[in-house]
Amino acid sequence: QIEELMAFSYHKRKASVVVLTGPFVAAPADGNVDDQMMYDDQFDALTEKVSAIVEACKGMKVVVIPSLKDLAAEYVFPQPMFDVDFDNEAILGLGNPSSFLVNNDITVGICTNDILQHIAGTLVEVQADQRLARIPRVAREVIRSRSYYPLVPAHPDAQVDYTLCHHCEFQSTTPDILILPSFLPAFAQKVEGTLVINPGLIRKHNFAEVTIGAGQGLVADRATVEIFKLT
């Protein structure tokens, strides 16, 4: 799917930045990891493909973020970046969570730990239609706390190392765009002045495209988001 997404992004959509979120090589459904070397080889082969594609796609930059489900990444949150040398300045490897700048003036924050689902699981719903209404409420909790993972105690699947929680805090500024991949339904909404996006999961062929118009106002007011499913 990653090769298809990158080719589509560059040739069909003329994307300037592509954000790839893990898991890239995930554990089998039964959780039985009996040959770590095989999975490491798969990840190495994938990174070589990504590097080759980026080399051919002049002008496109790629950001790579790990997931707790990645067999090639450390199983702790917050996570360091992948231990891999992409040998290409157009590829930026970051930890989970992280933030980065686009065009030197748009701050993008991203966290692949499913904080949306974890917080949503703590909410009590009185009526079925409240399920959709909870999305901005959950995102608002993240933004107001200025933390990519504000839930305490953490969900058991989150693998939070509380001695490293300071790495989960927002940096000096609240992100203009906050990307939170989740099992919850994909969405894009303006929350507390931030454009919050759940693009869905790449392994389910889901992704989001963000187009930002010119101007000086809030990025959330200048942005158009389309959520796709590659088939």
pLDDT tens digits for range 104-155: 999 999 999 999 999 998 886 545 556 556 788 899 999 999 999 999 999 9
The Cβ of residue 212 has, within 10 Å, a number of other Cβ atoms equal to 17
pLDDT score at 126 = 47
Q: Which of helix, strand or coil describes residue 156?
A: helix
The Cβ of residue 218 has, within 10 Å, a number of other Cβ atoms equal to 13
Q: Which of helix, strand or coil describes residue 138?
A: helix
92 contact partners, CB below 8 Å, separation of at least 6 = 61, 62, 63, 64, 100
Residue 157 identity (one-letter amino acid): D
> Where does the pLDDT of residue 36 fall: very low under 50, low under 70, confident under 90, or very high at 90 and above?
low
Measured CA to CA in angstroms, residue 166 lies from 74, 137, 141, 156 at distances of 18, 23, 17, 19
| pTM for this entry | 0.91
Q: Whose structure tokens read 């389309």?
A: 226
Measured CA to CA in angstroms, residue 88 lies from 54, 113, 184, 202, 215 at distances of 8, 27, 34, 23, 32
Q: Could you read off the pLDDT of 170-226 as tens digits, one per residue?
A: 988 999 999 999 999 899 999 999 999 999 887 778 899 999 999 889 999 999 999
pLDDT score at 125 = 58
Measured CA to CA in angstroms, residue 115 lies from 82, 138, 140, 141, 156 at distances of 21, 9, 12, 10, 12
Q: Could you read off the pLDDT of 70-110 as tens digits, one per residue?
A: 988 999 999 999 988 888 899 999 999 999 999 999 999 99
pLDDT score at 128 = 52
The Cβ of residue 138 has, within 10 Å, a number of other Cβ atoms equal to 23
Structure tokens at 197: 């996006």
pLDDT score at 31 = 54
DSSP H helical ranges for 31-163: 36-56, 115-120, 130-145
Domains observed in the chain: 2-229 (3.60.21)
d(CA 197, CA 190): 9
